[in-house]
Amino acid sequence: MVWPDTISKRLGVKYPIVQAPMFGVSTIQMVAAAARADCLGSLALADLSADESIQLIRETRKLTDKPFAANIFVHHIPEVTDALKDEFIRTRQFLEQLAKENNIDVRLPDLEDLKVRSYHELVDAVIEGNCKILSFTFGNLDDHSIQKLKENGVTLIGTCTSVSEALLLEKSGIDMICVQGTEAGGHRGTFDTEHVPQIGGLSLLSQVYDHVKIPLIYAGGIYNGKTLQAVKELGAQGFQVGNLLLASQESALEPFEKEKLKKVQEDEIMLTKSFSGRYARGVKNKFIEAVENTEYILPYPYQNKLTNGLRKAAKSKQNVDFVGIWVGQSIHNYSELSTEQILRNLIFQIDEN
């Protein structure tokens, strides 16, 4: 296969393959390993503080002198109303009782203890850290942030889950779009959490390709050479992989979580709002079954912040029923090789054809 070079030239990498920015799974070591494979690593900053983000950018630079992307969440933060305060108290009590019934001793935070941040300070952190590639998800950047980033020479990669979102990104001047099919693992990049498009990746990619003119990176279901070639034929010029790297040496998943991955069945993989308040694709477990479709799901990011302590407590006890294991629909052998070797193996599969 002849590799498309529009994106690779713009991003300064040999291959137009992007390591997915999986917050909580990817590490600075994974970013550096992707760079060693001549691909683009992605540093997941999510909604960390500016100081934490700058520190992570600096630590990543110690491991690689090659380009990498920073990735941030640009979600809308719901207003804290009296109704939300009451809902928060009820949800916290329910979750603490659920944890207690399952032998997990945890004290979840009060609403006023949660650190909920706007993405704007991260825009400044990316500029201060001299990071020249920024990808983002959960919405679009505001016009002022886009202008500020472009004035500082930052290439912008937005995420869409529908044609309408792609058109909004293109119109606002975003340089590239990551097209996320519904089969992708982890959180949906959807702008509106109440109306989540569930469009299969191949259908979505071909439609977005027909409607926008800027380069497209595809994410969702790529786990070998054949799947990568398929999305190339539909117009993808870049290829984002995350599921493929979940069990890699550099993954932050614990051994018990990686073992669960190796045993996962197709009917266990589902979309759920139970852990975070936003739809994410992962492995069904006892927590999801107890919380999904109940009144105890706060809007994002409050649910996500509230359940964080419970997930950490469950992880410390190796309790797979109360951790969120995000995974896509393409089941494979979940290699525990290094990220560099996994990506080089993928490249070899393409180059030999």
Q: Which domains does the chain have, with CATH numbers?
A: 1-77+117-249+332-353 (3.20.20.70), 80-115+265-326 (no CATH)
What's residue 343's pLDDT?
98
Q: How far apart are CA 139 and CA 188, in angstroms?
A: 10
Instruction: Read off the DSSP letter of residue 277.
Output: S
Specify the long-range contacts of residues 167-173, CB closer than 8 Å, at least 24 apart: 167/211, 167/212, 168/140, 169/140, 169/212, 170/212, 170/213, 170/214, 172/140, 172/141, 172/143, 172/146, 173/146
Look up residue 156 and give its amino acid.
Answer: L
> Angle formed by the axes of helices 143-151 and 120-128, to 10°?
0
| Residue ranges for the chain with pLDDT beneath 50 | none
Instruction: Read off the DSSP letter of residue 320.
Output: G
Which runs of E-coded beta strand occur in the chain?
A: 17-19, 41-46, 68-73, 133-137, 155-160, 176-180, 186-187, 216-219, 238-241, 269-272, 280-283
pTM above 0.85, yes or no: yes
Are 131 and 70 a contacting pair, CB within 8 Å? Answer: yes
